[in-house]
Amino acid sequence: MAVAVIGVGHTKFGNRRDVNVPELAWEAMKQAFDSANVEQKDIDFFVVGTAGLWSSEAAVPSLMAEYAKLGVGSMRVEAACATGSAAIRVGYTAIESGEADVVLVLGVEKMQESPNPTVIEIIGRFGSYFWEFENFGLTFPAYYALHATAYMAKYNATEEDFARVAVKNHYYGAKNPNAQFQKEITLETALNSPYIAWPFKLYDCSPITDGAAAVVLASEEKVKEWGIEEKVWILSQGVGTGTANLSKRETFTSLKSAAFAAELAYKKAGIDMDAPYKQLDGANVHDCFTAAEIIAYEDLRFAKRGEGVELIRNEQTYIGGRIPVNLDGGLKAKGHPIGATGVSQAVEAYKQLLSKAEAGRQAEIKNGRWLTHNVGGTGHYSYVTIYSLEKR
């Protein structure tokens, strides 16, 4: 049973102290209902992706369901920063399995008002906390800096190369009305920003973000019954898990779980592993830090090992290049509300494939396929999903 995204919702990302969590979530859910032309009574399962440790209130799906007037079954799913994609997995397998016809998937996170402990400590909990955070003080900028320096050492990449990713993602973020940062930056601005964890400077890091995104998923049967014209299909998904403890990783220039997930996703979708970008119109990759985007190019086989950096140097991931990446601004400029990010990527896949993205950031749609790459931790969880205008 094929599964389609039939409607999407997306709040403004950024500082959302104007609303509480249910209000923020409802903004996205309401848009998704309207966009899919469905009502509460049409939904028969509700999945909420949220890391949720920023607040003492833990009964998030129940609170959201009450606010949205949904009485159907629900649950929360979490896979660190890949939480949103995990929620989509639970939603679409519920339909594929025949257990549900129409599922609402919500991703939501409100991180800016985190009380004690600090946001940085809470994010640190999604690594190998007791060993790496408490013993060595490894925070997430430092985690990814280990990967960045390994990549620099092995492939002669530079801080300037990483900054180019920030420049690209800000360039497109400036054109996305939902982005946290809607301004272009220059290479100089990025390079002159203060260091956070060498080689990363402020502009190499995705921000702390409040935001929500929602999608309505429906079975092929419902799509036919309702005569839905605007939809994209979930073609395939690959998932992988990495070790919690970084000292057990074989390499730092690749996230093994992401490469594994990509292979699975390509295989299921029948996409050529040698040049998958030829069968895709674009991708959203998990650029929580600039270097992570370059490593993602390689894990996703958009470039050979060591050549990912050439893609950004030669502007091959801008529109018109080999494969446009993060045309919504990515985590870097759009923002990264942990639980919402994977769902936000699905919203972007929907908009791009249906050519509904804003002017200046719409890819050319030829193959009708879009990839999303969503990573929890430093490859602790990897979810690669391929969306398509044509069903399997």
Query: Which spans of this chain sit near a copy of itself (rule: CB under 8 A)?
Result: 1, 45-46, 51, 53, 56-59, 61-63, 65-66, 70-80, 86, 89-90, 92-99, 125-130, 237-245, 248, 256-257, 260-261, 376-377, 380-383
| Locus of tokens 């799509």 | 223
Is the Cβ of residue 18 or residue 229 nearer to a copy of itself in the bound state? 18
Contacts for 317-320: CB closer than 8 Å, 24+ residues apart: 317/168, 318/168, 318/171, 319/361, 319/362, 319/363, 319/364, 320/364
For residue 325, the minimal CB distance to a copy of itself (Å) is: 23
For residues 307 and 309, give the distance between their C-alpha atoms in angstroms, rounded to a whole number. Answer: 5
**How far does the chain reach from its first CA to its final CA, in angstroms?**
9
Return the residue matching tokens 């073609």: 235
Q: Which is nearer to a copy of itself, 72 or 191 (CB)?
A: 72
Beta bridge partners of 381: 241, 376
| 81 belongs to the catalytic site | yes
CB of 76 to a copy of itself, least distance (A): 5
Closest CA to 270 of 352, 369, 346, 365: 369
Instruction: Output 110 or 322, the one with its CB closest to a copy of itself.
Output: 110
Cβ closer to a copy of itself: 172 or 260?
A: 260
> Which residue in 134, 129, 132, 110 sits closest to 51, CA to CA?
110
Task: In angstroms, give the least distance from the CB of 178 to a copy of itself.
Answer: 26
Q: Which of 10, 81, 170, 286 is catalytic?
A: 81
**Are the CB atoms for 338 and 80 separated by under 8 Å?**
yes
336 is catalytic: yes
Q: What distance in Å separates the CA atoms of residue 21 and residue 325, rounded to the nearest whole number?
A: 30
Which one, 36 or 261, has the nearer CB to a copy of itself? 261
**Residue of 147, 170, 336, 380 with catalytic role:** 336
Cα 313 to Cα 18, 317, 318, 322, distances in angstroms:
40, 9, 11, 12
What 3-state DSSP class applies to 190? helix
How many CB atoms neighbour CB 322 within 10 A? 18
Q: Give min distance, CB of 134 to a copy of itself, in A.
A: 8
CB of 17 to a copy of itself, least distance (A): 16
Among candidates 11, 54, 43, 291, which has minimal Cα distance to 150? 291
Cβ at position 378, least distance to a copy of itself in Å: 10
> In whole angstroms, how large is the CA radius of gyration of the chain?
19
If you search the block for the tokens 């203060």, which residue do you land on?
194
Q: Which is nearer to a copy of itself, 125 or 313 (CB)?
A: 125
- Catalytic amino acids? 81, 336
